[in-house]
Amino acid sequence: MHHARNDRPRAEDSSHVRKRSQREEDIIKVPDFDFTDLIDKYKLSLVGRMFHQDGRSVDALIKHMPKRRIWDVEGRVRGTNLGNNKFQFDFNKEEDLQRVLLRRPCHFNKWSFSLERWTPTIKEDFPNSLLLWVTITGVPTHYKKDESYRSIGKALGEVDKVDVDNGRVRVYINVDEPLQFERRAGYTNGDVIKVSLQYEELHRFCFTCKRISHEEGTCLDLSPEQRERNKIARLEKKEKEERAAREAFSIPSRGFESQV
């Protein structure tokens, strides 16, 4: 004779699970201690983060970037994989660290990655910024002053520099958020303008959701059919633009009658 199984959890089992869950949620008390030695230890460190989902590994980046033809600090820096797409470079000299910072924005396999000076923080998204020059077009001639470009830059992130002559700003942009390519700016006299934003040295990003973690071909906001349609449309547009450029710069052929 077969007996029916009783799959219901016993009361003591449920109680054990609740107690374990409570223990996991309890905050472990850590006594006060001096960690200034660690802050001093990492004062010559840079922390980076890769955003893309389908690129090469962090270990490959750590091996590749210090080479002579890129950062030119090989043998004078130590790279560490921190997990979660993060990494750290520890330098021997401040001058090498500064030289690398001046090379930003940084790319690996044409994917942008963030690179910031190490700071004692527990923020999980640190670092999450790219230092990018943004060219702003659409500002009328009589508004082309620092105030216009700086205000537009502040809407994108923390402004580092303003280059009025070339109509651009350098901004620390939070790339956990979608990139912005068009904005409107309003003036105290009631004028409202529409500006276009172009990011210098930004190679790969998604044309649909405007994030740098992937390209349009793997965007989860699109169905496979939409991705293919967009791909074809973009290729056709590129071909049309290239054909128009060739025609614009071609020398028209003109027939000449031979003269005796």
Q: Is 129-202 in CATH node 1.25.40?
A: no
Equal fold, 39-117 vs 129-202: yes
The residues pairing with 113 across neighbouring beta strands, listed in sequence order, are: 50, 106
Region 175-179 average pLDDT:
95
- Tokens 């973009």 correspond to what residue? 234
Distance of alpha carbon 93 from its chain centroid, rounded? 27
**CA-based nearest residue to 85, from 66, 57, 105:** 57
Token pair of 230 as six digits? 């967009």
Side-chain half-sphere CA neighbours of 118 within 13 A:
21
Count how many residues are written for the chain: 260
DSSP classification of residue 76: S
Q: Residue 244 pLDDT more than 90? A: no
With a CB cutoff of 8 Å and minimum separation 6, the contacts of 42 are 88, 90, 118
Highest mean pLDDT among 13-27, 122-136, 210-224: 122-136
Q: Where are the beta strands (DSSP E) in the chain?
A: 45-50, 77-83, 86-91, 106-108, 111-117, 129-137, 157-163, 168-174, 182-186, 192-199
Instruction: Report the predicted TM-score, pTM, of the whole model to 2 decimal places.
Output: 0.78
> How does pLDDT run across 8-26, given as a tens digit for each residue?
556 566 666 666 677 778 9
The domain segmentation of the chain, as residue ranges, is 39-117, 129-202, 217-248
Class of domain 39-117: alpha beta
